[in-house]
Structure 1
């Protein structure tokens, strides 16, 4: 039973990561378009870029954790 629970936890974590990646890219694109149309200064674009990078780094760390957990389950 613990194996299926672990698999379900990893699958859930993978779905969360995929939603974060897709949502981050969509929001980042929308904010860049809206910012350009509204004439916001470049520092806001930099802020949007840094926020997107933070979310993608979080996703990368979680992908690594999922990968390590799967490797541990194999061996």
Structure 2
């Protein structure tokens, strides 16, 4: 039983981390888009922020998929 409690706690921690990363990436991406427009940054810099945000979301998708597989295997 303690092993299941540890696994559930680990899963809960991962899920909280994913939620925080999604929120942070979205807010930072919106701020970068706003700053890019307000300061007249070249499109390549704004595109860089798009790619970084996409990488963050792909990481979240991968971790969420791992959580889902672990939970559905029980």
TM-score (ref. length: structure 2): 0.96
Q: Structure 1 segments of 4 or more deviating over 2 A?
A: none
**C-alpha deviations, 1:25-53, integer Å up to 9, x for none?**
00000010011111100111110000000
**C-alpha deviations, 1:9-67, integer Å up to 9, x for none?**
00000000000000000000001001111110011111000000000000000000000
Q: Distance in 1 between matches of 2:5 and 2:73?
A: 15
Q: How well do the aligned residues superpose, as a CA RMSD in angstroms?
A: 0.5
TM-score (ref. length: structure 1): 0.95
Structure 1: runs of 5+ lacking an equivalent: none
Alignment size in residue pairs: 73
